[in-house]
Amino acid sequence: MVLNPVISKLAGKLVVLASASPRRREILTNVGLQFEVVPSWFKETLDKSLFGSPHEYAVETARQKALEVAKRMPFNHLKTPDIVIGADTVVAVDGLILEKPVDKQDAYRMLSRLSGKEHSVFTGVSIILCHENKGKDTDYKVANFYEETRVKFADLSEEMLWEYIHSGEPMDKAGGYGIQAMGGMLVEYVQGDFLNVVGFPLNHFCKQLDKMFNRHVEMLAPHNNGGGQAAGGGLNGQSKCEQKVEAAETSSHTEHTKNTLHGGRRADGPVFPQRIADLMDGFKASKTLFAASELKVFDLLEATQGLTAVQVAEKIPASVVGTERLLDAAVSLGLLGKLQQGGATVYRNMEEASHYLVSTSDLSLHGYILHCNHVLWPLFSHLEHSVREGASQHEKAFGKRPDNLFQDAYYSNTERKLGFMKAMHSVAKVTGRDVVTAFDLSAFKSACDLGGCTGALAYELAKAYPGMSVMVFDLPAAVELNAHFRPHDQDSSRVTFAAGDFFQDDLPKADLYVLARILHDWPDEKVHVLLRKLSAVCSPGSGVLVSEVLLDEERRGPSRGLLQALSMTQGSQRSASEYSLLLKAHGFLQVCVRHTGNFLDAILGVKL
C-alpha cells in the first residue's frame, strides 16, 4: 500500500466524514485527506440483541450513519457527495457493549468492569461511493469493514477510579475512557492498532482505499433500506475480521427515487419534495439553535449529568411547555440527547454540542451563533429587498446605514463591540489550527495578521511554529480589548498587537502576511489597494496567507459561501482560481491552495 497515490485519487472529490468526532477528524486530517464534516443524524438505537457480535453492531451503525448523510446532503446541502465515511467505535468486555456513561455512577460501573481485564475495542467503518445518475436518482456502493484492538487495563484502585471519573473525561467516551488523554494512564498494554482505540483504524482504512482505487476492485455490498441485520447474520454474510471485498449489484437509493420518472413524478403519483420541505423548515432549525444558545441551554446541561424540562425551565427561567418543546426540537436536530434516568426524562448535550455550543468550550461557536441571531438574522429577514436593490439592508434592520461595517462595529458601545469580537474570535478559534497548518510555514520567522481582531489565529500560528513571532495589526478599538481574549494555557509573549488601519497606515514589516476573512468584504478597488501595499513591502520569498471560503469553479458551491454573499456587502465571494489570479497580479507568483474541510480554506502566495 502506498498512501499518497491513494489520497491523490480522492483529489477533487467531495469526501464527507459523517461524524463530529474531533479525534476522527484529526486522524484523517493528519494524513492529508481533504474532506467536509457533516455529522450524521442517525439515532444510534439499533437493537443490540439482533447482532451476533459487537463488531456487527458497530459496522451496521457506521453504515447507517454514512447512508443517512449520503441521502440527506442532496436535499439539505444541495450537493451530492462522492464519498461518505461513517464510523462507530464500541468497547466490549465479556461480550457486553459498553456505551458512553450516563452519569458518574455509570462510569464507575464501566471502569470497574474493565479494571484488571482485557477488553476489545471495535471500530466499524463504512465507505460509500455515491453516483448521481442522469435521471437524478442516486446509486450507492458500500464497503464495510471493522478493526479489533485488544486493550488491558491495570488493576485500578477506588481512589484512581474516582479521580479519573471526577476529571470529567469519561463522560463522552465509549467505555468511559479516552486512551489518547488521561485514560492512557489506566492502560497496561495494547495489542493492535492504537488509532483504532482513539476512534479510527487508519491503517485498515488506507488498505481499503488501496483496494478500491488502486486495484480497481469492484465493490461491494448493496445497502439495505431496512433496519439492523438479522441476528447472527454476520456482516454481509461474513464474520471474519478481514472482510473480503466482493462484487455486488448496487441498489438505488430509496423507493421514491428508484421509481422517479422525468418531470418529478413516479409511476404511481408525484414524489414528495423532501429537499424543498427541508429548505422550508431550515429557518426553524437555525432559530432553534439560536434560541437555545441565547438562553444558555447548552451551558446549563454541560454543568450537570442531565436535567428534566422542568429543571431547565426553572433555571433559564422560562415556561415549562416552551422549554420542553425547545429541548425536544434540539433533540430532533441531534444537538441534545434524551434518556430515562431514575424514572424521569432528562436531556443531555451530545458530544458535538459540548465541543462547539457550550460558551466556555475552547472551540465554542457561541459568539458567532449570537452574532447570527442578533445581526445576520435581521439582515436576512429583508433579503427580498437586498435582491431588488443589490445592497445591504442594514438601515432597514437596525435603523441606520453604516459608512463602514467594521468601524460601526468597533466604535459602537462596549457590549456590541465585544459581541462582534467574540463572533470573530469563535470562528477563528475553530478554523485557526487547520488554516495555519494547511502549509508548512516554518520558513517564515515573522508574521503579521492584518485585521486579526482578537489574535485567535495569531496565537495558533505561534503555537504551531515556535520560531515565529506574530503581530496583530487592527483598528485601535479592537487592539484595546485584546486582553479579554488572551489564552490562559499558552505563552503569548511572541504575539504582539499594533493599532492601525491597513488601508491608510504603513504596514508592519513581516515575512508572512495573513488575510483571514478580509478580502471577501471589500470591493475590488480596495482589494487591489491592499494587495499593492503588501507587494510593495514584501521581498522575494515573503508570503501572503489568505483564508476564505473558496467557491468551486462553476460557482455551484459550497452553499456556505454563496449564502454568505447574500448579505450584500461591497465585496465578493471568489473561487480558488480567482484568488490565485489576484495574488499573481501583484507579484505573488507561487500560489498553492488547500481545502481544509473546515469553515475556511487556505491559499498561500509567495513573492518570487
Active-site residue list = 88
**Grid coordinates of 316:** 433559564
Assess contact for 534 and 503: CB atoms under 8 A: no
Beta bridge partners of 141: 129
Output the CA torsion 7→13→18→20 (10° steps): 70
Beta bridge partners of 96: 93
**Grid coordinates of 262:** 422525468
Order of all β-strands in the sheet with 512-516: 495-499, 469-474, 446-450, 512-516, 543-548, 601-606, 590-594
Rounded alpha-carbon distances, angstroms, from residue 413 to 218, 407, 416, 475, 498: 62, 12, 6, 15, 22
Q: How many CA atoms lie within 13 A of 571 on its CB side?
A: 19
Which residue in the block uniquely carries the three cell numbers 431588488? 388
CB atoms within 10 A of CB 576: 20
Q: In angstroms, rounded to a whole number, what is the distance separating the alpha carbons of residues 391 and 383?
A: 10
Q: In angstroms, rounded to a whole number, what is the distance separating the alpha carbons of residues 505 and 500?
A: 6
**Grid coordinates of 528:** 487591489
Assess contact for 462 and 441: CB atoms under 8 A: no
Angle between helices 456-464 and 414-436 (to 10 degrees): 30
Q: CA nearest 408: which of 503, 478, 506?
A: 478
DSSP 228: S
Assess contact for 186 and 154: CB atoms under 8 A: yes
Q: In angstroms, rounded to a whole number, what is the distance separating the alpha carbons of residues 545 and 514?
A: 5
Q: In angstroms, rounded to a whole number, what is the distance separating the alpha carbons of residues 415 and 86?
A: 42
Assess contact for 86 and 125: CB atoms under 8 A: yes
Q: In angstroms, rounded to a whole number, what is the distance separating the alpha carbons of residues 516 and 386?
A: 26
Rounded alpha-carbon distances, angstroms, from residue 307 to 104, 304, 311: 15, 7, 6
Assess contact for 474 and 518: CB atoms under 8 A: no
Q: CA nearest 597: which of 6, 9, 14, 63?
A: 14
Helical (H) or strand (E) element with 345: strand 344-349
